[in-house]
A and B are shown apart, each in its own frame.
Chain A
Amino acid sequence: MAKLLTYKEKGTWMENLCGVTKLIFFLSWTITCMLTYDTRVLAVMFVISLILFKLSKTSWDQVGSVFKVILVFMIINIVAIFVFAPDQGTKIYGTEHILYHWGGRWKVTSEQLFYELNVVLKYFTIVPSVFMFIITTNPSELAASLNRLGISYNIGYALAIALRYIPDVQDDFHKIKNAQEARGIEMSGKAKLADRIKSVAAIIFPLIFTSMDRIDTVSNAMELRGFGKHKKRTWYMGRRLAAGDYVVMIATLVFMIVALVITYYDGNRFYNPFV
C-alpha cells in the first residue's frame, strides 16, 4: 500500500538532485506561476509541469486523494469567483463579449471564462510541482541542504522529522478511524455532513494524544543522543551540489526571468486576446 505524500525511492534523476536545487526550483516555479497571468506562459508551464510529473514517476496512489481534495477546492474557488465577481474578466480585458445572460449582474462573458481558465491553469501548474517536491525529496537530505544554505539546522530537522512522521501519523489515523467506526461513529458518506464534522473530532483527539506521546519520546531520544549540543552539525545524508544541480538551477532562473519578462512586457500581468 503506497503511503500518501511520502518520499519513496524510485531511482529517477530528480531524486539525485540536491534538496536545495529542488527547493529553489519549487519556490521560483511557484512564484512565477503566482505572478503571471499570461496565458502563453502558463500554458508552457503547464506542459512542462506535466512532463516533469511524468518523469518523476509519481504514482497516483501517492497523491490521488490529496489531488481530489485540491480539485474540490479549485471548483469552489472558480465558482466563487463567478458568483462574487462575474465581471472580473471584463474589468481586466476591457471588452465584453456576452455569451449568456443569467439575469442581474451574472453574465457569462468570454472574458470571464478566459480569466477563470487562467486560474485553473495556475492550479494545474503549481500542484504537480508541490507533489513532485515532496515525493522526490529525501527529508534528511533536504534538512542537510537547508542547513548548507545557512538556515539553522533546528528548522531543517523539524521539517525533516515532520516529513518523516507523515507515514506514521497516517497509520495512526487509519487505526483510530477503524476503531471509532467499530464503536459506531459513522465516517462514510452515509452520515450527514454535520454529523461527519462532529465525528472527525473522534479521530482528531486521539490522534493528537498519540502524536503528543510520539513527540515526547522522540524529543527525549534526540536529547539523549546529543541533539542541539553544538551550533553546527554534520549530515550523514549530506550531498554536495553536482553539475546537474547547477544546470537545473540556472535553467530554472533563466526560465523564471524569461517568463516574467514576457509577462510584464506589455505593462500588465495579463495576456489579452480580445484586442
Chain B
Amino acid sequence: MKPIIEFKDYSFKYNSQVEPTLRDINLSIYPGEKILIIGPSGSGKSTLANCINGLVPFSYVGESTGELYIGGKEPKDLGIFGLSKMVGTVLQDTDGQFIGLTVAEDVAFVLENDCLEEERMHKRVEEIAKLVDIDKLLHHAPGELSGGQKQRVSMAGVMIDDVDILLFDEPLANLDPATGKHAIELIDSIQKEQNKTILIIEHRLEDALFREVDRIVVVGDGTIVADMTPDELLSKDVLERQGIREPLYVTALKHAGCKIYAKDHPAQIQTMDFGPYKGRVQDWFAHADSPDKKKESDNVLQVEHLDFSYDESRKILQDISFSVQKGEMLSIVGKNGAGKTTLSNLICGFIKPDSGSILLDGEDISPLSIKERGERIGLVMQNPNQMISKAMIYEEVALGLAVRGVPEEEIKERVYETLKICGLYPFRNWPISALSFGQKKRVTIASILVMNPEILILDEPTAGQDYRHYTEIMEFLKRVNQEYGTTIMMITHDMHLMMEYTDRAIVIADGQMIADDTPAKVLTDATISDRAYLKQTSLYDMAKQCGIESPSAFVECFINYERKVR
C-alpha cells in the first residue's frame, strides 16, 4: 500500500527564525491509520501538522528541503485549497474557528466556498449533522453551545467535505475530562465507520489513549524521536526523557519498582494485564507512607448560601457554602459551564449575588468595591493577553501599585522582589512581547502577587501548557503558597493539577456544590465524577485490578509519594 502522507528527509525553517523547526523528518502514514503525535511545546509537532494541512508554507512562510507527499502529490502543486480537499483540520480553539453565525452556516462553510447550490447544501448539512449528533442544534449560535458541542460542529464542518485525512490539533485542550472522553470516542467511531486516516496531536497522552491508536509519533526538538505502537512506547523511557506525562497507572507501576513490558498491553488500562505487577504494587502500598494530617488554621474566606442567576428562569449557582482556610491550596472543579467562573466573579465582586454572603477574615465584603476587593483577593485570568496592558515587564507589574499611589521607591523595591520570586528578574527591562506564553502568564501572576493579596484565584492556570511548563508554573505557585502563606484557589478541569497540587476540591455541577473533599476521594467516587463530568482516575481501576481494598487510600499514597519525589 502507498502511504497517504510521506515525509522524506524533510526539513523546514520559518523565515522569521534562524534555526530550522523541523529537521530530517522521515515519516510514512498509511490510509486508514490512526496516529497520535505527541511532543512538548516548541518541539515542532504543530509545525509538522501545519505542513500537512498547508498552513505551512502557504500562511506561515519558510523554506523547506527534502520531500513531502500528501496523497502522492506535492503540497506546492496542490496549494492550500487543494490540500483542504484532502486534509480536514479541527483546530484547538473551538471558539475561534467558529466562523458562521449559526451551527448550520458553520457546517456549510466549505460547501459555500465550493459554490454548491442552496438546496443540495441544506440537505448535505442535515446529513452530516445527524452523523455527529448536532441536528437539533442547527439554528443555535456558537455562544449557546457547550464545549463538546462546539467541537462536534467543528468536526462536522471539516467532514462535510469528505476529506480522507482528519487532523485534530489538541482536541482535548478546552474540554472537561468527561467531554474529552466522548470526543475521543467520537473520533474513534468516525475512523471505524468512514475509514478515514486520523492524526491526533495531543499532549494529554492518557486521555488520548482512551481509544486504541495504531502508532504514536513522538516529536522532540524538531526531529522524530520515536515512532512505534503505544504498547512498545510505554515500555520504554522515551516519554520521560521528552518531558511528556505518562499515564498515571504507568507512573504508579514505576514507583512500585515494576519494569513494564509491551506484551502486557500497557496502552490501555482496560486491556492491560496487571497479573505480573500485582504483587509488587501491593507490597509498595503496604509500605507507603500515608499523607500527614493537615493542620487546621483560621478561615480566610467563607461563602455562605450563595445564590446567583442572570434572569428568573435559570439559576446559575444555588446555595453554595464552603470555607477556605488560610494558606490552603484548593481547586474548584466541574464541567464546562457549571458555574465555576461565576463563583470567582462573585468573590471578586464583578457581579452581585441574589442572596447569601461572602466573608473575608470574618467580615462581610458586600460593601467593598471591585477595587477594594482586588487589594485582598487577586484574580489571574486564563489568557495572559487579557490582562497585559503595558509594553514593559516592569511597568506591567508596577501598575497595580502605581495606581494606588504607592511611592516610587517602594514600588521599585516590591516589584523587584516579586520579579525575583517569579524568576523574571533577569528580564525586568524586557518588552513583554519578547516573552513566551508561559512567561507572560508569570508576568500576570507577578502583577497580582505584587499587591500582596491574601487570596489568589487562578482561572485555568495551566491551560494549553505542556508537562514541563505545567510543572514549572505549579511548582512556582506551590512556592508562593508555602513561603508567603498566600491562599490559592484554582479553577480547573485538569485532574492532574487537582490531584497533585491541591489538598481539597470543591466540585460544582449544574450550579450546585456536590462535593467538598480530598481530590483522591472525589476522583474515586463514581457518582461525583459522573455528575461533574470528571473522570475517575485510572489509579482507581489499577488499584482494583491489583486487588487493593481501598482505592482512595492508594490514590492518596500515590499523591503523597509523587509530591515527595518531585
Which residues of chain A have a CB within 8 Å of any CB of chain B?
1, 7, 138-140, 160-161, 164, 167-168, 172, 175-176, 178-186, 188, 199, 201-203, 205-206, 209-210, 213-214, 217-218, 220-230, 232-238
Chain B 387-425 per-residue mask, 1 if CB under 8 angstroms from chain A, else 0: 111100000000110011000000000000000000000
Evaluate whether A221 and B96 lie within 8 angstroms (CB atoms) in the complex, with A140-B101, A184-B404, A226-B84 already known: yes
A221 touches B97 (CB 8 A): yes
- Whether B59 is near chain A, meaning CB under 8 Å from some CB there, is yes
Query: Contact partner of B389 among A160, A175, A201, CB < 8 A?
Result: A201
Q: How many whole Å from A121's CB to the nearest CB in chain B?
A: 35
Query: Contact partner of B91 among A172, A178, A183, A220, CB < 8 A?
Result: A220
Which of B106-114, B219-227, B558-566 lies on the face that meets chain A? B106-114
Evaluate whether A221 and B387 lie within 8 angstroms (CB atoms) in the complex, with A233-B113, A234-B118, A235-B112 already known: no
- Docked CA distance A185–B121 (Å): 50
Q: Hey, which chain B residues are within 8 Å of A7, CB to CB?
A: 101
- Docked CA distance A229–B331 (Å): 47
Minimum CB distance partner of B55 in chain A: A220
Q: How many whole Å from A206's CB to the nearest CB in chain B?
A: 5
- Docked CA distance A139–B400 (Å): 40
A182 touches B118 (CB 8 A): no
Q: Hey, which chain B residues are within 8 Å of A183, CB to CB?
A: 374, 387, 399-400, 403, 447-448, 451
Q: How many whole Å from A55's CB to the nearest CB in chain B?
A: 23
Q: Hey, which chain B residues are within 8 Å of A201, CB to CB?
A: 389
Query: Contact partner of B386 among A139, A172, A226, CB < 8 A?
Result: A172
Number of B residues, CB within 8 Å of A: 68
A-B contact count (CB 8 A): 166
A184 touches B105 (CB 8 A): no
B385 touches A209 (CB 8 A): yes
- Whether B44 is near chain A, meaning CB under 8 Å from some CB there, is no
Minimum CB distance partner of B122 in chain A: A236
Identify 12 new A-B residue pairs, CB closer than 8 A, beyond the known A218-B99, A234-B112: A140-B101, A176-B387, A184-B374, A184-B404, A205-B389, A206-B386, A209-B388, A223-B80, A224-B53, A225-B113, A229-B81, A230-B115
B109 touches A225 (CB 8 A): yes
B370 touches A178 (CB 8 A): yes
Minimum CB distance partner of A214 in chain B: B96
- Whether B66 is near chain A, meaning CB under 8 Å from some CB there, is no
B374 touches A225 (CB 8 A): no
Query: Contact partner of A206 among B345, B387, B451, CB < 8 A?
Result: B387
Q: How many whole Å from A209's CB to the nearest CB in chain B?
A: 4
A186 touches B371 (CB 8 A): yes
A235 touches B386 (CB 8 A): no
Q: Hey, which chain A residues are within 8 Å of B247, CB to CB?
A: none
Q: How many whole Å from A222's CB to the nearest CB in chain B?
A: 6
- Docked CA distance A178–B381 (Å): 10
Minimum CB distance partner of A205 in chain B: B389
- Whether B157 is near chain A, meaning CB under 8 Å from some CB there, is yes
Task: List 6 A-B pairs, Cβ < 8 Å.
Answer: A7-B101, A180-B389, A182-B378, A183-B403, A232-B115, A235-B112
Minimum CB distance partner of A240 in chain B: B118
Q: How many whole Å from A156's CB to the nearest CB in chain B?
A: 12
- Docked CA distance A179–B349 (Å): 11
- Whether B117 is near chain A, meaning CB under 8 Å from some CB there, is yes
Evaluate whether A178 and B345 lie within 8 angstroms (CB atoms) in the complex, with A213-B385, A233-B113 already known: yes
Minimum CB distance partner of B387 in chain A: A179
Evaluate whether A224 and B118 lie within 8 angstroms (CB atoms) in the complex, with A139-B101, A183-B447, A236-B105 already known: no
